[in-house]
Chains A and B, each alone.
Chain A
Amino acid sequence: MTSIQQQVHTWLEEGRVDIFLAYRMVEGHPLPHAFTRERIDETDTLVTGPARYSLEKFATHIASRYPDAKIGMVARDCNQRALNVLQVWNQLKPGQVDTVPVNCCPSLLKPHADCSYLEPKPAGHVKLERGQDPNQSLAQADTLPRAERFDRWMYEFSKCIKCYGCRNICPVCFCKDCSLEHPDLIGTGHLPPDIPIFHLVRAVHMAGRCIDCGLCEDACPAEIPLRLLYRKVNAIVKDLFGYETGSGDTLPPFSILGDKPTMSPQPLLAVSQE
């Protein structure tokens, strides 16, 4: 029994948590699984590895049904950031979720790392020619001329098959009524989706919420570089409001009015002539 299996076993046995969310090996595949006291022997099959899922999303579903449940889960840095955001947005009570930290992004102090995003897919020649390379930096994406930037983003968005995978996997998408399904706003059942509205609506809703876990991009069957887009969203929120999403328990700038205005409307034409 590995130390993490032992720890989860002890936590369940002692009643520190009622349910523990982690991964379990099923037919050679690590799948998300809820370990409980009633079936405590299952902890023998608990595994750690590069597989990622938004376990905190399960936690919010459990918490909404059983508000007093004590939930445990394995957490990478991105899971922890998501938990912070979900607490800020009142989806989880503070202290309701107990975490066991697991390996995550590499660093000089921590040579071993586990994450499905560690080796991003290299962009093929069509993507490099017509689309947006998901591995480029924000600064690179910003340096292209506006018209080219627009064409490249529209090429990426035009591949969308409107599967809602990005929203479904997103750990911080918790709204009961989603704008992307509302019949008066976007609506379901029509293909192809209205671009860029579909993607921009989602991007706007990610402001002050996105914790840059990259699961949306992992999930996207059309390989739209969503993480790059939402990184820009985070960068704007940080530049304009000095707010770092997921870092703490402060409310995002779009949830508070503040006691005095700190901004003024943008000038009529902030466009440099290109």
Chain B
Amino acid sequence: MTLKRMTFLQHLLDFMGLAGRLHLEWISSAEAQRFVATVTGFTETIRRLGPSPLRSAALRRYDNISAAPVPCSGPASLQPPAMPDSGIQIANG
């Protein structure tokens, strides 16, 4: 079942443009070397792919939203209040 779901998700992520960042492997607790090889290999893969585009996409959106409001030319009391903290959490890749 896990295999079905993960394979499906790999295809879906590829459709969205996020390929190669999801990996599934069965490793027994007795297979230490295989664990090391898998993690090392996958780390290399991720390094080759570079930083996750999710992070930069989140930052881009944050920039759009928190863009400074257009200054209005009235007295200071009419100036728009400071933008509240929008509470956006930047997704970790």
Contacts and interface: CB of A to CB of B under 8 A. Distances in A.
A229 B11 CA distance: 12
A159 B3 CA distance: 32
B31 interface: no
A241 B3 CA distance: 12
A251 interface: no
Contacts, number: 97
A30 interface: no
A192 B64 CA distance: 12
A192 to B, nearest CB: 7
B57 A154 contact: yes
* A interface: dominant SS: helix
B20 to A, nearest CB: 4
A125 interface: no
Contacts of A194: 89, 91
23 contacts: A141-B15, A142-B15, A146-B18, A147-B17, A148-B17, A151-B53, A153-B16, A190-B87, A195-B61, A196-B54, A203-B12, A207-B8, A229-B15, A232-B12, A232-B15, A254-B4, A254-B5, A254-B8, A265-B7, A266-B7, A268-B23, A268-B42, A268-B45
Given A154-B57, A190-B87, 20 more contacts: A146-B18, A147-B17, A149-B15, A149-B17, A150-B57, A151-B17, A151-B53, A153-B16, A154-B53, A197-B91, A207-B8, A241-B4, A254-B8, A257-B1, A265-B3, A265-B6, A265-B24, A266-B6, A266-B7, A270-B20
